[in-house]
Amino acid sequence: MVQGGPAVQLGVIAASVLGLWIGARALVDAVVRLARRFGLSDHTIGLTVVAMGTSTPELVVSVDSALKGLGNIAVANVLGSNVYNLAFILGVISLIRVIPIAEGLVHRDGGALLASTLVAGLVVADLTVTRLEGGLLAGLFVVYTANLFRTARSTASTTPGTGVEAVTTAATERLAFRGRDAALLVGGLALVLVSGDYMVAAASELARAAGVSEWVIGGTIVAAGTSTPEFAVSLVALRRGSLGISVGNVVGSNVYNVTGILGVSALVRPLVVSGTALETLAWLAAVTVLMVAALWTKRQLSRIEGALLAGSELCRWVLSLLRVFG
């Protein structure tokens, strides 16, 4: 917990945002170089390594909440983060630049996003997540991730210039820069995690002082705070032309959140949530279906679609605040 008055909390938030940006930049630089050196595409790395790394704040917050018996914060953090990722992050990214979507992301990963959201919805629908259900969700995440790496290896072995040949011919470069890349990866991720943790603590303290419920805190302030690494990484990746990481990071994080994070949290301690969870579930389902439908029909996100997505997230926040203060 961050001690101090509102001015101190706001200062901590501002410093945390700066730390997230710096850490995200180092993280993206390292994973892109390491990925290309080992023949993996930006798309695969965005869906796996970066997605899991930027989702670590959600994991820490949800598991910690589960240990303390705060099921509302644990689950609201996961569901709220997913809505925020799809609506606000991809919406803002699309406003900056029209994003062409790779065919693999449209079919395989779009389907995985829909399926994981559906399974999570069925699990949370009775307002409880048991250890058995948590084990099922975590198992689905392991299967999905293993399939991504298997597909990546298969593609690398059959695509000229991206497989083993490219790696072995760059052996000297790997040896020369491996230490720097590892330092950037670890240091960047550590800075992102620490900054995200402080930002969530400060924002939550401010929200609690205003008398906001645990679900609203988890689904808005905490969700946005823990999703800031995804936002920062996607923006930095977009600026550097790594569109696969920019979009794959968000899609991969969402699949990871509702399978791996929700599953591990329930394995730690069964989760019980309030009826408000059903409203957030409905919102997440609607945004997910609209997002995947847009990708399947046109294989790109336009600026108009980005504006609508970002606007929908602002509406969700306004409705949450009206429920609290209205």
Give the CATH number, domain containing residue 49. 1.20.1420.30
Model confidence over 176-230: pLDDT tens digits? 446 777 888 888 888 888 887 787 777 777 767 767 777 888 888 888 888 888 8
> What is the reported pLDDT for 105?
65
Length of the chain: 326
Dump pLDDT digits (tens) for 6-46: 778 778 878 888 888 788 778 777 777 777 777 776 667 76
pLDDT of residue 153: 60
What are the CB-based long-range contacts (under 8 Å, 24+) for 276-281?
A: 276/72, 276/213, 276/215, 277/72, 277/75, 277/76, 277/79, 277/124, 277/127, 277/215, 278/125, 278/127, 280/76, 280/79, 280/80, 280/83, 280/215, 280/219, 281/79, 281/121, 281/124, 281/125
> How do residues 81-119 score in pLDDT, each as one tens digit?
999 999 999 899 888 887 776 666 667 778 889 999 999
* 324, part of any domain: no
Query: What single-letter DSSP state applies at residue 257?
Result: I
Q: b vs e for 117-148, b when ≥16 Cβ sit within 10 Å of the residue's Cβ? A: bebbbebbeeeebeeebbeebbebbeebbeeb
What is the pLDDT averaged over residues 57-61?
Answer: 85
Would 125 be classed as within a structural domain? yes
Q: Is residue 157 part of a domain?
A: yes
Q: What are phi and psi of 64, to 5 degrees?
A: -60, -40
Strand partners, 128: 272
Q: What tokens were used for 86?
A: 């799809």
Asked whether residue 76 is domain-assigned, the answer is: yes
**CA-CA distance, 320 to 37, in Å (whole number)?**
46
In this model, does residue 326 exceed pLDDT 70? no
Q: How confident is the model at residue 175 (pLDDT cuts 50, 70, 90)?
A: very low
323, part of any domain: no
Q: pLDDT, tens digit, for every residue of 276-318?
A: 899 999 999 999 998 888 777 766 777 888 899 999 999 998 8
| Most confident of the following: 89-98, 128-137, 142-151 | 128-137
Q: How far apart are CA 18 and CA 16, in angstroms?
A: 5
Task: Answer yes or no: is 11 within a domain.
Answer: yes
Instruction: Determine, yes or no, domain membership for 70.
Output: yes
> Is residue 325 in some structural domain?
no
Report the pLDDT value the prediction gives residue 168, as an integer from 0 to 100: 31
**Confidence (pLDDT) at 106:** 65
Predicted pLDDT of residue 155:
55
**pLDDT value of residue 43:** 65
Write the pLDDT tens digit of every residue in 63-87.
Answer: 888 988 889 989 999 999 999 999 9
Query: Element (H or E) spanning 272, and its range?
Result: strand 271-272
Split into its structural domains, the chain has a count of 1
* Confidence at residue 313, expressed as pLDDT on a 0 to 100 scale: 93
Domain that holds residue 24: 6-318
